[in-house]
Structure 1
Amino acid sequence: MALLLLLLLTAAQLLQLCTGQGPPEPPGRIAVVGAGIGGSATAYFLQQKFGPQVQIDVYEADRVGGRLATLTVNSQQYESGSPSIHSLNLHMQDFVKMLGLKHRREVAGKSAIFNGEHMVLEETDWYLLNLFRLWWHYGISFLRLQMWVEEVMEKFMRIYKYQVHEYAFSSMEELLRSLGGDHFVNMTQRSVAESLQVIGVTQRFIDDVIGAVMKASYGQSVAIPALVGAMSLAGAQGNTWAVEGGNKLVCSGLLKVTKANVIHAKVTAVTLHSTETRPQYEVQHEREGAPGSDYYDLVIVAAPLHRDGHPISFLNFQPPVKEPTGSYHRLVSSIVHGYLNSSYFGFPDPRLFPFSNILSTDSPDSIFHSLESLYPVNVSVGFRRKPPQEAAVWRVLSPRPLDRRELKTLFRSYYSVQVVEWQAFPSYDSTGSSHSLPPILLHDGLYYLSGVEWTASSVEMSVVAAKNVALLAFNRWFELNEKIDQPDLLHKLKTEL
């Protein structure tokens, strides 16, 4: 039997030699544009699939980490970007363990919702009292909301099983359909307000609570798509964590483990060069004013291509690569070191002000979306939040830079203000088919990662998309078509297992 198998193997190898057919060589060079969490995770997953012999160049015009960034106040660093990560984010959990990082020690705090005149909802130290207050104000709306979010997240978690078995999807629609059928695709076209009304959530609860969470998360209204809203509401229900030393350490750690070549340059164009075998992509860039270019077998764009994003020209492509429609929404993050004006929130005595996080309802007169007391990215064992009558570091999220009058409204006095303006998230709407989801596959070896933000924008969503792109590139390179866009995948995996 062993001899027969050997003869069969030899015959197969001879046939491959004679016909010129055989497994394709892995790519020699891969370019990743963008070193945020999406680009860093893509580089890591690509190396995991293609092996350490593949050279991976990561282009970053600004800083590694992207929106996972910190600012320094009084020699202490504070998160200025995404402050927390949900406990269900399995890829991020794996990264932290693999990189030897630690979860930051949690510092407890209470939240409240402010409507411009008074607090409409206040959190207490007692869980049962919080539930009673929710029931008293909003009936069972909060229970219906929780069941809806849990159902969405349970279906979303299927992606981890698919990715363990190395299945990939060539479009976001295919990925969503594999998780929750056409219902999940429709959730990108229906507003979160409409979806919650259908399941019996009251308009008052939507206005007071859901609107405040959407403003604090994305600076936008309850007209945002339902899937975006569900992801945000999952994070608002707690069970979040952060990385000791700053969430951005995950990005730099992944690039270090991957041994990626980080090129601090701005990518200006990608030019297609046809060859007899596979296409080659010339990535043109500018570094300190000097132009340069390199050739790659695969290119993954992990930076927004939409209007207000990162302008990249795509040359020599037929048909042309189209710029995705839509634009990004501007948010302003102000890191203020000062004394909060608790009187503005109905607490003349600052010593009685109990909240570390204030959300604003969706009101045109509101000067802020959220106001959060920050603690450093390195939390010592004896650390405690500053009492409300003392100066603390606050993060104010607002639709525009705060002027002096607005700062004096929120703070009795302040030592410093550091302002970060950013095109933080897509400008979402619920206009249905007017905006289709951006494509993943732009050309045979050209992939677009950042379009995932139009499905839902979160750290983990970017990492899930990064693994999908890496698996898709690998499966397409080696023509493993049985691992791409498989219908009824959940049932298939159940039968196989």
Structure 2
Amino acid sequence: MMLIREMRTVEMQAFFSCFLLCIALDVCLSATPTPPTGKTWRIAVVGAGIGGSGYVHFLTEHEKKSGGGQTSIEVFEQADVPCGRVTTVKVGNDLYEEGGSILHPSNQYMRNYTEILGLKRITDDVSDGPFGIFDGVNWDYRQTGSSLWDTITLFLRYGFEPLKLNWLVDNMLNSFKSIYNIQNEGKAFTSPRDMLAAMGGQEFVQLPQMTLADYLLSKGFSLTFINELAAGAARVNYGQNTTMGGFAGLVSLAGSQSGLWSVLGGNNQVCYGLLKRSGVRVNYNSRVSRIRRISSPGKTVYELTIGNATRQFDIVILASPIEKANITFVDFPVTPKPNGIFQQTIATFVEGSLNRSYFHLDGISASEFPTDVLTTEGTFFNSIGKESSVNNTLPSIPVYKVFSRDALQASQYESLFNDSRVMTSKVWLAYPHYNPPHVIPSFVLDDQVFYVNAIEWVASAMEMISISARNAALLTAGVLHNVSPFDAPPTEPTMESKRDEL
């Protein structure tokens, strides 16, 4: 008090101004926690696919806007290129999408990536044409390319069910879109189940736990529609049938809607662009074989074994499926483990022409022949599609992509094609084998280990992974800013997990 009495008037005014400013700052700081000063958070991202590249994009953008603390991010990718299952293959003189190839117009994050990176989109694929559903012997349904006649024949076969399906999928997508506002508000989830509940309530929660066939039957669809159109979509998009989970099944049906697009030059440009733009260090040919939890009073770090070396990090982002990563987890309270098996799908590119006699279509014109052949269960291949290059051009000799569950024999190729050459074949463990009901893993493997690919057990798609990548970035921001996104250490994941939001 003596000091205040001795101050001049100006000094007293400055003192009280500073005092009031401190009070205001204290209120602000209590409302918006900030990271501890002087600490650089070491973050390891395992996998440079859509999930890993999306994560570093979302986290670096979040920290730029929030003025967060110091982070040192490194990405470890076991391949020599990024983007994992989103990749291209050279056939002849052109590149073609070998992995994830189509995107839905409602996919906001994938569309935003292209805009941020200045990439162009293909919205009118030159290979598009009529499609048909083949049962291995006969055509259940086949378009001719005449829009009026195709509409009439579609109605005669399925009635109003295709319109009903569009309505059902649109309603699902409208609920699904709420996740973007939820994430824009900074909310994150520790489990996919809780994320589904926030988007679509109990119906979304139950969808992965029932088969697509049962769900469509409950909505009044006929067995003819389910066994033909729905099965064809499930087989081409997931290599499975209508016994797959309902949520993933609806995602596959959304892939039959109009307005689908891809990235001009290849969808994998998204990963290259996001990693480069984020400025993080990417270590290629660097497989993480072990993650060990090292705990001491007040501190937990994670030791990664990469090749013959070990490195320690504060936060680890697993952006690769546990089922495929073959990582050993040591000293975790709950040891992460595979959740099931991944579905084998073989993508084979064939240069040549389809054998019209095999398909009983000798007498039709080239424009009437289906560019996409879907199949019903029991047919030895899942689908055949006429392909355009990643630059949306058609080769002089047609190129077809054949999806199958097993490698096709020479006699099978010869029955499907005339004068053909098998250019390349890729065996994918492309997505989970959905066999509901099943446990859906947690996004949180340990206090500071977050699992992007947990979302794949709901549905596997580029946009789903991107949503999960942002969720992992928001969980990370919670750690950086001293906001715990969960009340207790993670436990064994269950189908009735407690809901937590950040």
TM-score band, normalised by the shorter chain?
A: 0.7 to 0.9
Q: 1:281 to 1:384 in 2, by over 3 A?
A: closer
* In structure 2, C-alpha distance between the alignment counterparts of 1:468 and 1:180, rounded to whole Å: 17
Task: Determine the structure 2 residue equivalent to 1:183.
Answer: 203
SS of the aligned residue for 2:371 comes to: strand
Within a 5 Å distance, the mapping from 1:92-491 to structure 2 comes to 92-104=110-122, 106-107=125-126, 108-264=128-284, 265-286=286-307, 291-306=308-323, 309-317=324-332, 319-349=333-363, 351-352=365-366, 353-363=368-378, 366-379=379-392, 383-384=393-394, 391-430=397-436, 432=437, 435-480=438-483
Alignment match, 2:5: none
Following the alignment from structure 2 to structure 1, what is the Cα–Cα distance between the partners of residues 356 and 34? 71
Q: Which residue of 1 aligns with 2:44?
A: 31
Residue 45 (structure 1) aligns with = 58
Aligned partner of 2:18 in structure 1 is 6
Q: Is the 8 A contact 1:178 1:487 kept in 2?
A: no
Conserved 8 A contact 1:439-1:448: yes
Task: Find the aligned partners of 2:481 and 2:394 in 1 and give their Cα distance.
Answer: 54
Shift of 1:481: 5.6
Relative to 1, partners in 2 of residues 1:243 and 1:23: Cα closer, same or farther, differing over 3 Å? Answer: closer
Asked if the contact 1:27–1:298 (Cα under 8 Å) also holds between the matched residues in 2, the reply is: no
1:2 to partner: Cα distance: 9.4
Between the aligned partners of 1:194 and 1:4, the Cα distance in structure 2 is 70
Deviates most, 81-90 or 25-34:
25-34
Give the superposition deviation at 1:338: 1.8
TM-score by length of 1: 0.88
1:76 aligned partner: 94
Q: Which amino acid aligns with 1:406?
A: Q
Unmatched 5+ stretches in structure 1: 490-497
| Deviation at residue 99 of structure 1 after TM alignment | 0.4
Q: Any unmatched runs of 5+ in structure 2?
A: 1-12, 488-496
C-alpha distance in 2 between matches for 1:22 and 1:134: 59
Residue 144 to residue 16, structure 1, CA distance change in 2 (3 Å): closer
Contact 2:51 / 2:465 at 8 angstroms: preserved in 1?
Answer: yes
Q: If the length of structure 2 is used for normalisation, what is the TM-score? A: 0.87
CA-CA distance at 1:313 after TM superposition:
1.0
How far apart are 1:483 and its partner, in Å? 11
Instruction: Report Cα offsets for 1:332-380 as digits up to 9, x if no partner.
Output: 11011122212211122574352211111112xx12101011111123x
Q: Counterpart of 1:415 in 2: which secondary structure? A: strand
SS at match of 2:86: coil
State the percentage of identical aligned residues.
Answer: 31
Alpha-carbon offset, residue 259 of structure 1: 1.2
Indicate conservation of the 8 Å contact 1:335/1:395, yes or no: yes
- The separation in 2 between residues aligned to 1:209 and 1:163, in whole angstroms, is 34
Query: Would the aligned equivalents of 1:85 and 1:240 in 2 still touch at CA under 8 Å?
Result: yes
Report how far residue 238 of structure 1 moved. 2.2
Compare 125-134 and 354-363 and name the one that shifted more: 125-134
Query: What is the SS of the residue equivalent to 1:274?
Result: strand
Distance 2:387 2:143 in 1: 18
Aligned-pair Cα RMSD in Å: 2.7
Q: What amino acid does structure 2 have at the position aligned with 1:214? A: A
